[in-house]
Structure 1
Amino acid sequence: MKERVIIWFRRDLRLADNPALRAALDGDFDSIVPVYIHAPHELGDWAPGAAQRVWLHDSLTAFSDALEALGSRLLIRRGDTTDVLDTLIAESGATSVYWNRLYDPLTIARDKKVKQHLADNDIETASFKAHLLHEPWTVETKQGGPYKVFTPFWKAIKNRAVDTPLAAPDALPEVWSRIGSESLASLELRPKIGWDRGIRETWSPGEDGAHERLETFLADALETYDEARDEPARPGTSYLSPHLRWGEIGPRQIVHRIEEWLDEHRETKTLRTQADSFLSEIGWREFAHHVLYHFPTTPDEPLDARFKDFPWARDHEALERWQQGQTGIPMVDAGMRELWETGYVHNRLRMTVASFLTKNLRVAWQHGERWFWDTLVDADLANNTLGWQWAAGCGADAAPFFRIFNPARQGERFDANGEYVRRWVPELAKLEDRHIHEPWKAPAKALDTANITLGDDYPEPIVDLKESRREALAAFDEIKNDK
């Protein structure tokens, strides 16, 4: 008897190193039915945000084209996952459903429900590791619990063997023409008003785009990674995070390609150091998923319980000005405008704008987390949660609360000639380098020469950086000794 298998694709939109797909090809199946099920209601508040949906539309387009080039096609369905799978099983005669595992709380709960439902109906299921190097339950402290600090976590995993990536198939079996698909347009992932132009001009979603990004990084940036990674005006980072978010490339593909590149370029101590520095960022991604898996309430609640009683300010106007890049603090405004325009913001700026929101403005970190979720193309629940709790001082391996980034000093250090600020805050373009990060301190003559009137052409600072730092520390004093 011929058997058929459904491959349920989610955030693994690639052909190479796709264990579920490879297992199906290696199995005794005469038909493979690829499907993407659009069910945002099953992810509650953490369904993909607006920028992610723009990316997803183009990623699904690229993946569909790739499947068709091998003789298959991607089915698109929407609705409750169990209902969609039941219908597709009836239409295709499938006896098995395969997928690759994910680790955020609502997805885990949904997948368990789906697995039990299929088992109750005598449908074989199999799931596989594809999204991480090491699954969260496979890493534990000597005491047998989860890690809360990155350095010992990274020490525990950095020398572990990483599985060899799987090759992409050369061909795939045809999907019966009688099995229908909804159109991608019917999912309405792209906005009706074209605010996404900057995103679409900046990025090339899809598996090919991911590998092009990786090769560009290796050729142009890896050798100077430690030097350039913190300078937002330079292309010193990999820009792979949105491709990883949607599984257009997997982490073990990155690890193995870097090792190959080192071999090709006759690895030196300097190259090894640069590569290890970058690979530790892959480690941070692993750590974020480890923390979220073991502490599933952290997207909404601080890991440090003292912060439940922190006296956050309720300042909607301040939040809006931060969101709009109109705070009067150039590095903050530049970061927030880059985010709005491109769906991305440099990591140095992520830390800077998050510190400013949670400490100088004392707006609760959850508001920033939600804004990033809606505006970042690479918004990943694990990374987003870890990053915001780190910035607020209330999460795993968090920066001490008294570590408050001064955005003017950040600008002077990492954007010394003001190139980044001038790009995203053109109102200040003619201001001298020595004044561009603190225009409120510039003498009247310098402002006149640059055709700037503070309060008209560019905002006055929304807060005094020193005074707001003092107030934040005083607020922390109210809770720091709580148990």
Structure 2
Amino acid sequence: MPSPSIVWFRDDLRLADNPALRAAIDRGEPIIGLYVLDEESPGIRPLGGAARWWLNGSLASLAERLAERGGALVLRRGPADRVVREAVTDAAAGAVFWNRRYGGPERAVDAGLKAVLRDAGVEVASFAASLLFEPWTVTTGAGTPYAVFSPFWRACQSLPAPRAPLPEPREIAGARHPIDSDRLDDWELLPHEPDWAGGLRETWEPGEPAARRRLREFLNNDLGHYARARDEPAAGATSLLSPRLRWGEVSPHQVWHEGVATGRAGKFLSELGWREFAWHTLFHSPDLATQNLRREFDAFPWPRLRPSALEAWRRGHTGIALVDAGMRELWVTGYMHNRVRMVTASFLIKNLLIDWRLGEQWFWDTLVDADAANNPFNWQWVAGSGADAAPYFRIFNPDLQAKKFDPDGHYVRQWAPEHLSDDPPPPIVDLRESRQAALAAYDVVKRAARG
């Protein structure tokens, strides 16, 4: 009697370079793909609206690709420790395979499941698939996590090179009697009343095939301009791979090896290293989205929140051209150019003096590529409370940034054209005065750190 293998898909919605799927194929028994929408386990952060939209498309693509090869994707909803155990029972499964996660709550769920299933006689194995380097393999000489990127990345590069990607399976032996599955539409991941996702549909195509196409397009057509033009939001020189990596439609190993093969991807691959740095930081600091990494920043004197200022920032009505353009791009497309992300975040924190956590929450809800590591990590970097931070000097002037990186106004003209009119909207805050207020607030932190 066959004892099927369950492949528990998580943030690895692909067939190629999927070690968990490869292990199930090598075991030689029928395979059941499983995805669990877990919004109930302790500490698990529910997905934002844009992320739910992307997940819907990526799951539909994965299910179609599995079916083409003889497999199937089972969808179930609920706390993962219960749902996975129920799936094992329903399928009389003899093995469960998954690729590792690195957030604290996720690791707790996985460790508990692994222990319970093994006690029940089920084979369980987890694999490295989402990072180039496991977080426990990259530490300082003292055995502590790195707090600065440059030595972190040098340490990574001193390790053996990332493994080669695994090939995509041509056939997947599906179970003869598949277990019950939810209908994807019943999860209601897509927005309605109102349907605000029109811009997302025009901008993106979720799924592994589109991710592979985009990687090839970038390496063949755009990589040559990357180092020179990546900071220009209108240049179209960025990879646009961040949501693909976030959902695991393409693996970092695929990106790494295909990038290395070009012989000219050094700067781009260092950005892949920054992604690694964020995940390693989350591994060692699971509360990254809620607690200052540098605890002296707990003394930062946030003024009383002005809801009208926060709302103006969210909607792109601050009267600051580059900020408004970026926030409107985000609202329409679920994406924002990285240089503009830094500028908009800096403006919220250091000109409006609004807690970085409120900005992080907005990006979590509106970005298609928001993940548990990079989103809070980058917000803390801008705030100065995180890793590799130099808070007293990093206050972006959005007007100067626009002159430097959008000198012809192409980006602003696309997203906030009224700023280029004869009667532009007035700013809601004076940049010079608010910068001085931010520096004064940071001085409070500096004095607190001295004791």
TM-score by length of 2: 0.96
Query: Alpha-carbon deviation of 1:43?
Result: 6.1
1:186 corresponding residue in structure 2 = 186
- In structure 1, runs of 5+ residues without a counterpart are 263-271, 432-446
Query: Alpha-carbon deviation of 1:319?
Result: 0.8
| Residue 19 of structure 1 pairs with residue 25 of structure 2 | no
Please tell me whether the aligned partners of residues 131 and 250 of structure 1 are also in contact (alpha carbons under 8 angstroms). Answer: yes
1:376 corresponding residue in structure 2 = 367
| 1-structure distance, mates of 2:444, 2:419 | 39
SS at match of 1:479: helix
Match among 423, 433, 436 for residue 470 of structure 1? 436
- Note the alpha carbon deviations across 1:302-342, whole angstroms, 9 max, x for none: 11111111111222111111001000000000000000000
Query: Alpha-carbon deviation of 1:225?
Result: 0.9
Please tell me whether the aligned partners of residues 37 and 76 of structure 2 are also in contact (alpha carbons under 8 angstroms). Answer: yes
Please tell me whether the aligned partners of residues 288 and 373 of structure 2 are also in contact (alpha carbons under 8 angstroms). Answer: no
Q: Which amino acid aligns with 1:312?
A: W
TM-score by length of 1: 0.90
Query: Alpha-carbon deviation of 1:86?
Result: 2.6
| 1-structure distance, mates of 2:321, 2:327 | 10
Q: Percent identity?
A: 50
| 2-structure distance, mates of 1:356, 1:169 | 47
Query: Alpha-carbon deviation of 1:466?
Result: 0.4
Query: Alpha-carbon deviation of 1:91?
Result: 2.1
| 1-structure distance, mates of 2:205, 2:112 | 35
- In structure 2, runs of 5+ residues without a counterpart are none
| 2-structure distance, mates of 1:206, 1:320 | 33
Q: Which amino acid aligns with 2:102?
A: Y
| 1-structure distance, mates of 2:154, 2:239 | 23
Q: CA RMSD in A?
A: 1.3
Query: Alpha-carbon deviation of 1:427?
Result: 2.0
2:406 corresponding residue in structure 1 = 415
| Residue 233 of structure 1 pairs with residue 199 of structure 2 | no
C-alpha change, 1:251 and 1:178, in structure 2 (3 Å) is closer
| 1-structure distance, mates of 2:235, 2:42 | 36
| 2-structure distance, mates of 1:385, 1:36 | 25
Q: How does 1:2-17 map to 2 (within 5 A)?
A: 2-17=2-17
Match among 340, 344, 348 for residue 335 of structure 2? 344
1:252 corresponding residue in structure 2 = 253
Query: Alpha-carbon deviation of 1:130?
Result: 0.3
Q: Which amino acid aligns with 2:218?
A: F
2:357 corresponding residue in structure 1 = 366
| 2-structure distance, mates of 1:312, 1:110 | 35
Query: Alpha-carbon deviation of 1:5?
Result: 1.0
| 1-structure distance, mates of 2:44, 2:166 | 34
Query: Alpha-carbon deviation of 1:298?
Result: 2.0
| Residue 404 of structure 1 pairs with residue 395 of structure 2 | yes
| 1-structure distance, mates of 2:287, 2:116 | 26
- Note the alpha carbon deviations across 1:2-51, whole angstroms, 9 max, x for none: 33211110110000000000011111x32111111111222646221100
| 2-structure distance, mates of 1:477, 1:83 | 49
2:288 corresponding residue in structure 1 = 298
- Note the alpha carbon deviations across 1:117-170, whole angstroms, 9 max, x for none: 212322221000000000100101112111010000011112531101000111
Please tell me whether the aligned partners of residues 38 and 44 of structure 2 are also in contact (alpha carbons under 8 angstroms). Answer: no
Query: Alpha-carbon deviation of 1:277?
Result: 0.4
1:108 corresponding residue in structure 2 = 107
Q: Which amino acid aligns with 2:356?
A: W
> Which moved further from structure 2: 103-112 or 232-241?
103-112
Please tell me whether the aligned partners of residues 338 and 424 of structure 1 are also in contact (alpha carbons under 8 angstroms). Answer: yes
Q: Which amino acid aligns with 1:97?
A: V
Please tell me whether the aligned partners of residues 4 and 175 of structure 2 are also in contact (alpha carbons under 8 angstroms). Answer: no
2:98 corresponding residue in structure 1 = 99
Q: Which amino acid aligns with 2:355?
A: A
